[in-house]
Chains A and B, each alone.
Chain A
Amino acid sequence: MAHHATATLTDADTAVLGNRAGKAFMPLLGVGAVCLLVALIFALFFPDGIDRFGFAYLTAYAFCFAIVLGCLFFTIITTLFRAGWSGMVRRIAETFAACVPTMAVLFIPLAVFVATGSGSPYIWAKDAEHGGHHATLEQDGSGSPVGAVAVIAEQADGHGEAGGESGDDHDVDHASDHGAHHGPPSFIGNNNPDDWGTWYSGAVEYYMGVKYPWFEKWFWALRWVVYFAAFALIGVGYWKLSVKQDATADPSLTNTREKYAPASVIAFALLVTFMSTDLLMSIDPVFFSTMFAIIFFANAFTAGLATMILVITVLRKRGYLPNVTTEHFHDLGKLLFAFVFFWGYVSFSQFMLIWYASLPETTYWFEIRGVTTVAGTFFDGGTGGGGGSDPAAPTFNSGWSWVALFLLFFHLFLPFAILLSKHVKRHPFWRVVMAVWMLVVVYVDLYWYVMPMFSSPSIGLDMLPIDLLTLAGMVCLLLAAALKRAARHSLVAKNDPRMHESLALDTNVWAPVHAD
């Protein structure tokens, strides 16, 4: 009815959490820290538990950063479009977007992993003393220690000098796994399935040379400083402008926000592209895909929207935000639905291009993640379990295949079919179910990117508690940070000049700009 055009913000809408946030803040902080600590202690009981902890931490970190970046994107894209409908829910997104500094603090353990040179979770950070692939080459035909990168680079014209320099830094040990291999080390054309390990270590050397100096630690650290500085500038900046408007009711602050929105969106696109490459894709220096960053972005926005739906539902249960109506949830649900399909679209694009081109330096990425019709791989001598040197050895076509199929059905087909209905998007119970569902599959998707590098072809479920505890701990810490940000300010951007549009939101009818 037209009557809801007269809705106004109530005291419950503009309430400040204040001390009530404090009651949840300390428990969240405590549970988060304890979960991470228990995960670390649990990891000590396994020979490679610390390595696993690194991968688990990376997965959980990527998940939480995805939520923050999804909310950041929601903030700037609605500002860019001068959206009116989002006024009631925008502050929640801004609060999470302002948690970039927290994510910078939580990044420190990953930096420690890189600095110690254990090669986990980033294989390119492996040092020689850890028995890594940077060890000295003992014998290579000529008898002189020459890096594999240098040899390959000299074969490929024009790269001799640059390759030689990096080759000196990254001498290679091929002797251990490379006994039968004669001539210059090369991974290209090496199709012997028994020799996959050699293929991969050679490929790592080669691509680290090709991509020099991307995997230099100083350059890596420099990039992360830039990422965090820029994301914090946008995320905290928009949040600060918004809470300032709460106090001053100055509509020109909205003009300021909109003025910087286009540049922020462009910067966001570039930053997410490079950041996700550094965070997730670089655990595998060989693999390259121009679709990877946009898949991460799709996951991030999905996670951000699902988090917003859940957080607002919880706040409404406690009596806050009574003016967030079914219409707002419906719109958030529409975006969630759109990005379910967007994820499927870009993920399939990545798969199809790699499948069609069939280049070994990219197809193996899917192979070790279980997406292969080849029953036999180097693990079983290439004959499909039973005919190789080790008949009992597992193949890639095992546990991770189920995860990949799970993603196909539970990250694309089923949520697409379910979220297609507006009744689900508007239903108070089912929209919560779908939001939790989407958060779970986003985590599984990130897990599927990261963990096979550690455990494939096995799925390595024995150490699953490490992953789940790390995830729980990290999510608790993120929620604690968001709660602290939210505590001293209204839960709604109450002086937003377009608030009347959001209050009068009716998705059943096209809304004129000035509803009243």
Chain B
Amino acid sequence: MTTLAAPPQPATVGDDAFVEAPSRPFAILAEFDNVTDVISATQAAYDAGYRKMDVHTPFPIHGIDEALGVRPTILPWIVLLAGLTGMALGLVMTSYTMGMVDAPLPGVPVALEPYPYLISGKPYWSLAAYIPVIFELTIMFSAYTAVFAMFFLNKLPMLYNPLFQSDLMRRATDDRFVLSIEAADRNFDEQQTAAFLKDKGALNTDIVNY
């Protein structure tokens, strides 16, 4: 955001055909060695106006969602919508294939014509017999949507994250708690943010470039 890459030089003949863009910061990392410090630092960062931040910890921490100001996910609403879609689709499919006895629709290809089947003397349109189909489609749509919408909302699968360059991140899976503030945050400033985090008890800070 701060420094845009300079326009690449025209390629010259030889080994310098590819010019590396000058690096620009992606995020700043701050290392803590206990839960209380990382939560209070996160809360302080939130109060100071930082929003594009995350905390990387070896285990889930109670209260970190509140400190980060994580807003409730919209995933449940997506799943609800998918479930209702599955339900409607199940109802329409069963009613169309089994229930449309007397109405060959004009223009419908033979392969897509209704296929009413007489089963143990029941009426063709029998809601009780359709319920399992409707139920299963509702469940299937909800379950698959829950999984894949979660992937989508979490930007998964993400094979590379610039944060992995920092040595600080190695211990985030072991015995350190790492707070990261992205350079894209409107309050981000390399020096000031680093000083702020030091002030809030960070053991170390590290700038990660793209």
Contact = CB atoms under 8 A, between A and B. Distances in A.
Interface residues of B, number: 20
Contacts of A358: 120-121
A139 to B, nearest CB: 37
A356 B129 contact: yes
B62 A351 contact: no
A210 interface: no
A515 interface: yes
A351 B63 contact: no
B128 interface: yes
A327 to B, nearest CB: 11
Nearest to B122: A356
B131 interface: yes
A1 B63 contact: yes
B39 A510 contact: no
Contacts of A508: 65
Central interface residue in A2, A510, A515, by most chain B CB within 10 Å: A2
Given A358-B121, A509-B60, A510-B60, A2 B65 contact: no
Contacts of A1: 39, 62-63, 66-67
Contact of A351 (B59, B128, B132): B128
B35 interface: yes
A356 B63 contact: no
B128 A506 contact: no
Contacts of A3: 63
Contacts, number: 44
B191 interface: no
A331 to B, nearest CB: 16
A37 interface: no
A440 interface: no
Interface residues of A, number: 20
A267 interface: no
A512 B63 contact: no
A238 to B, nearest CB: 30
Contacts of A4: 62
A348 interface: yes
B36 interface: yes
Contacts of B36: 2
Interface string B120-160: 11100000110110000000000000000000000000000
Given A1-B39, A2-B35, A512 B131 contact: no
A355 B66 CA distance: 52
Nearest to A351: B128
A438 B66 CA distance: 33
Interface in B108-129: 120-122, 128-129
Interface string B40-73: 0000000000000000000111111111000000
Nearest to B61: A2
A352 B128 contact: yes
Contact of B62 (A5, A355, A356, A420): A5
Given A352-B128, A355-B128, A2 B63 contact: yes
Contacts of B60: 509-512
B65 A509 contact: yes
A40 B117 CA distance: 55
Given A2-B35, A352-B128, A509 B120 contact: no
A366 B204 CA distance: 72
A504 interface: yes
Given A1-B39, A2-B36, A352-B128, A509 B121 contact: no
A140 to B, nearest CB: 34
B167 to A, nearest CB: 26
A509 B61 contact: yes
Interface string A1-37: 1111100000000000000000000000000000000
A371 to B, nearest CB: 10
Given A2-B36, A2-B39, A511 B62 contact: yes
A498 to B, nearest CB: 17
Nearest to B59: A512
A506 B66 CA distance: 12
Interface in B23-47: 35-36, 39
Given A351-B128, A356-B129, A2 B62 contact: yes
Interface in B58-99: 59-67, 80
A341 B128 CA distance: 17
Contacts of B66: 1
Contacts of B35: 2
Contacts of A356: 120, 122, 128-129
A506 B131 contact: no
A4 B39 CA distance: 14
Interface string A451-488: 00000000000000000000000000000000000000
Nearest to B70: A508
A107 to B, nearest CB: 37
A86 to B, nearest CB: 18
Nearest to A422: B76
B174 to A, nearest CB: 16
A417 to B, nearest CB: 10
Contact of A509 (B62, B122, B129, B132): B62
Nearest to A355: B128
Nearest to A352: B128
A515 B62 contact: yes
B39 A348 contact: no
Interface in A115-158: none
23 contacts: A1-B62, A1-B63, A1-B66, A1-B67, A2-B63, A3-B63, A4-B62, A5-B62, A352-B128, A352-B129, A352-B131, A355-B128, A356-B120, A356-B122, A356-B128, A356-B129, A358-B120, A509-B60, A509-B62, A509-B63, A509-B64, A511-B60, A512-B59
Per CB-CB distance, the 6 closest pairs between chain A and chain B, nearest first, are: A1-B63, A2-B63, A2-B62, A506-B62, A509-B60, A510-B60
Interface of B: 35-36, 39, 59-67, 80, 120-122, 128-129, 131-132
Given A3-B63, A352-B132, A506-B62, 4 more contacts: A1-B67, A348-B131, A356-B120, A358-B120
